[in-house]
Structure 1
Amino acid sequence: MAKYLLLIFIILSAASFFVSNALLVVKTDHLADLEEDHQELSESYEMMVGSQQLYIDELKNLSMSLSSLKSERDKLEEENLRMGELNSSLDNSLFGLENLLGVEHQTNIDPLRAEQLTIEANKRLFFLHSIPNGVPIQAIRISDKFGPRIHPVKKKRVVHQGIDFKANRGTPVYATADGIVEYGGYNKRSGFGKLIILQHNFGFKTYFAHLDAIKVKSGEFVSKGQLIGNSGNTGMTTGPHLHYEIRHLFTAINPEPFLSWNITNFDSLFTKVKGVKWASLKEMYPLNQHSQLLQ
């Protein structure tokens, strides 16, 4: 009996082993299939995520490009607006320059016209810096003019070779054109006292006499409007003032037309002042304001 039971147990165990082994093989194969499917799904998911991220990056790049384009467009619109305002301002400035120069107006100011106006303005400014003009001092008044007079100290009739500006002692005195200091010191023989002589272009000189103080030295270059001294009462004088002369090739000429000479009445000097041969300047500057340059 025991033998039969043992045989049955062995048969059942063997059957159970083979069945379990078969099931294990099936489960293993199924698990392998599942793992393979999982791997494929994982790879597909990663591809999908990668593609999505690529789309996101592309969208970001596109958004940045659109933003950049909008910024560039806004800058261009601002630049166009600014250029329009600049052109309008430039047109107004050039029309104003025509008025300042006293030349004939043109309806349209093109680049050539603008260049001509600029050349004309620069020429005038060059001469206004080279030839004495304007007042040398902020004076109380003109106390004596150019021409014959009774000398206040000598008490005899002489030619007054300059203009006297009544001014308090210490009033600043300025150069009326670019130049070089020919002399700066006390000149006893002339009666001018402390005197400054400046040399300018085209044979002009200016004299500043009866000074209280001299701010420049001989040989020094000076520019128009530069402080050169202070008015005083030195030399042969009866009171504090500035004696101012303009000379051309050693000949004194009336300074009065030069006092009011400026860029707006530029051509007037060449007709008012007869002692200078202005015609010889024509090679450097067309004295006729209606010259071909500005027609």
Structure 2
Amino acid sequence: MSFHKITEADSHYDHLEQMSVKEVLKNINDEDKTVPLAVEKALPEIEILTTIVSEKLKNGGRLFYMGAGTSGRLGVVDASEIPPTFGVDHGVVVGLIAGGDIAIRKAVEFAEDSQNQGWEDLKNHQVGINDVVVGIAASGTTPYVIGALEKCNSLGIATGCITCNEGSPLHKTAKFPVVVMVGPEFVSGSSRMKAGTAQKLVLNMISTAAMIQLGRVKGNKMVDMQLSNNKLVERGTRMLMQELNMDQDSAASLLQKHGSVRKAITAYHNE
């Protein structure tokens, strides 16, 4: 399979600087509309990877995301949102970015070009056979990610990827690849746009579906969410009011006593 890096191809639009703000926004929006359709075509691949992730997590393993730049930041964001949303421990889902945490806010030059650093970062977390490592790279050529996945493959550690270039080195390296072909960007090569949107959608799907498989959702509610601010306490109170058909004061008191919606429901039914 020949490899053509479509994420670097010329935009379908030209003379962007001559467009009005209205024209720029409309054209960006028209391009963005194509992203969910591209993700839809990749659903079979997403299902396979999500099933592997779910199985690993059910057996006590962890999910690692690895990326550089925008891709790395998206992985870190998804990983950081899992504990408060679903109540799992920090460290069950881990986001690693080339250049370390400082690269979340500020680009670290050439950090992604190391073939060995990705594996070193994984070793710092004692990655093992029970875990799954998902490389995220729109281009599919990031050495930081590819090198880490190659080492994982050699040790029998499950590997997946999310990329936007079919036939890329990352696509060929990952055992369970997801390829979302979003085409050229509105601004040529700016993969923070459609490619980044596609990656975010796929990450949402993988982590949310996996957490549902782990029983972290009841009905359609986040019953294990951490009550870390007033908004979430109020949401939890409403859940209890609806689930247990009780008034607000009683629900709030029950939630405060037990510390989570799930524990409050269980305790109520056991009393």
TM range, smaller chain: under 0.3
What TM-score, normalized by structure 2, do the two folds share? 0.23
- Between structure 1 and structure 2, the one with the greater Rg is 1
Higher helix share: 2
Specify which structure has the bigger relative contact order, considering alpha-carbon pairs within 8 angstroms and separated by 6 or more residues: 2
Higher strand share: 1
What TM-score, normalized by structure 1, do the two folds share? 0.22
